[in-house]
């Protein structure tokens, strides 16, 4: 596997046949690597087959690590309530660097390569432990590398920090800026609070958000209403949703201008029938996410707990190549997990 060659590719440039050939070989190599270096994964493959789509829940029950413990530089934990056992994802230096590099290449396709002043709609308290990250903390740290002059919009009590916000707006008046946050926190702790107090901000730039629609389902909030609120409260016109998980950090699926989530050269998507768990080409099914990035843990083919629908491949109106899809919602009886879903006041 030559990662230099992989990163030399544009993130949305491969047509279907080329990408299929690439993924078929690389995923086979990754499966062989993880079987040789992770005993628990090897046993699972022996029982369930080499083409195993590993259910994400198994990261809660097994220590799935393909490098010696002394090579682990960072451990990330999944989102969850205090009553849930958390997944643990083990990163070595190479995998962590690879994931950061892929994230930067994907996002740059949408916002450009320049590092912009950045407003993170969260609290800096979330990233205190740099060696042990929750999914939320990992997301904040990963995206913060894309910006500069970082400002946090919320204080340690998750309330708006008006002094910090006013300073950020004044300092960057007339400049393009980048905002990042998790969907439900952006909505509840930022947009709604600004609306409630009758205040607005003047910002020019883009917002990237993800990981929290489930908590907002009972508020009848859709993507267009969310974007409208951002325009009203702070003037942000470019709003990009993304789909991703801590088990495959870096190889996220970004929302294009046509409103579709796209697989990049680092990732792919497939569907399984929810009853038989057999692959299906059309309709709604369980989402299987594939990534070429992780070598320190077997996270290359994962069965999520989300239902989705593949809408097409290589023919999205936005012009990006690759499969594009939408997320329908959680599987029935699946636990709620999302980077911001478990935050409560």
**In this predicted model, what pLDDT tens digit does every residue of 133-182 receive, in sequence order?**
677 888 898 899 999 999 999 999 999 999 999 999 999 999 999 999 99
- Structural domain contains residue 227: yes
**Contact (Cβ atoms closer than 8 angstroms) between residue 267 and residue 291:** yes
Q: Which range marks the domain in which residue 133 is found?
A: 100-243
| pLDDT band for position 218 (cuts 50, 70, 90) | low
Q: Is residue 216 part of a domain?
A: yes
Task: Tell me the two tokens of residue 214.
Answer: 């489930």
Give the pair of three-digit tokens for residue 185. Answer: 């926190």
Helix locations, the chain, DSSP H? 3-7, 16-37, 39-48, 58-61, 93-111, 135-144, 162-171, 183-185, 192-196, 223-234
pTM: 0.89
Give residue-wise pLDDT tens across range 232-269.
999 999 999 999 998 999 999 999 999 999 999 999 99
Higher pLDDT, 231 or 334: 231
98-121: per-residue pLDDT in tens?
Answer: 999 999 999 999 999 999 999 999
Q: What share of the chain is helix, strand, coil (3-state, %, to 5)?
A: 35, 30, 35
Please check whether residue 119 lies inside any domain of the structure: yes
| CATH code, domain carrying 108 | 3.40.50
pLDDT exceeds cutoff 60 at 335 = no
Distance CA 132, CA 110 (A): 30
Task: Output the furthest CA–CA distance in the chain (Å, rounded).
Answer: 60
Closest to 286 in 3D by CA, of 268, 308, 301: 308
Q: Which of 120, 118, 119, 140 is nearest to 129 (CA)?
A: 140
Q: How buried is 6 (Cβ within 10 angstroms: 0-12 exposed, 13-18 middle, 19+ buried)?
A: middle
Distances (CA, A) of 326 to 131, 267, 308: 33, 15, 6
Is there a domain that residue 18 lies in? no
Assigned domain for 33 exists: no
Would residue 180 count as lying in a domain?
A: yes
Give the CA angle between residues 92, 96, 98 to the nearest 5°.
120
pLDDT in tens, 50-66: 778 999 999 999 999 99
Query: Does residue 229 form part of some domain?
Result: yes
Pairing of strands 323-330, 253-255: unpaired
Give the number of domains in the chain: 1
Question: Is residue 329 situated within a structural domain?
Answer: no
Paired sense of beta strands 72-77 and 132-134, if any: parallel
């Amino acid at each position: 596997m030559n990662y230099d060659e992989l990163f030399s590719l544009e993130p949305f440039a491969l047509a279907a046949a080329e990408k299929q050939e690439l993924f078929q070989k690389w995923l086979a190599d990754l499966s062989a690597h993880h079987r040789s270096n992770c005993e628990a994964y090897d046993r699972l493959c022996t029982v369930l087959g080499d083409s195993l789509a590993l259910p994400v829940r198994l990261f809660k029950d097994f220590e799935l690590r393909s490098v010696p413990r002394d090579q682990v530089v960072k451990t990330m934990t999944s989102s969850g309530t205090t009553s849930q056992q958390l997944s643990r994802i083990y990163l070595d230096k190479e995998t962590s660097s690879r994931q950061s590099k892929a994230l930067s290449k994907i996002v740059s396709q949408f916002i450009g390569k320049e590092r912009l002043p950045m407003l993170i709609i969260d609290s800096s308290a979330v990233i205190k432990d740099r060696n042990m990250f929750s999914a939320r903390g990992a997301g904040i740290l990963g995206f913060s590398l894309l910006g500069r002059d970082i400002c946090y919009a919320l204080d340690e009590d998750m309330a708006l920090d008006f002094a910090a916000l006013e300073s950020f707006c004044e300092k960057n008046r007339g400049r393009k800026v980048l905002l990042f946050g998790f969907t439900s926190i952006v909505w509840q702790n930022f947009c709604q609070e600004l609306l409630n107090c009758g205040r607005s901000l003047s910002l020019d730039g883009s917002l990237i958000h993800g990981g929290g629609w489930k908590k907002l389902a009972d508020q009848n909030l859709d993507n267009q209403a969310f974007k409208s609120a951002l325009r009203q409260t702070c003037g942000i016109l470019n709003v990009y949703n993304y789909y991703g998980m801590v088990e495959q950090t870096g190889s996220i699926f970004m929302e294009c201008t046509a409103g579709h989530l796209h697989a990049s050269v680092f990732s792919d998507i497939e569907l399984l029938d929810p009853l038989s768990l057999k692959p299906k080409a059309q309709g709604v099914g369980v989402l299987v996410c594939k990534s070429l990035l992780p070598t320190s843990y077997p996270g290359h083919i994962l069965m999520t707990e989300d239902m989705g629908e593949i809408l097409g491949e290589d023919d999205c109106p936005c012009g990006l190549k690759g499969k594009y899809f939408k997320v329908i919602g959680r599987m029935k009886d699946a636990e709620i997990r999302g980077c911001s879903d478990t935050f409560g006041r």
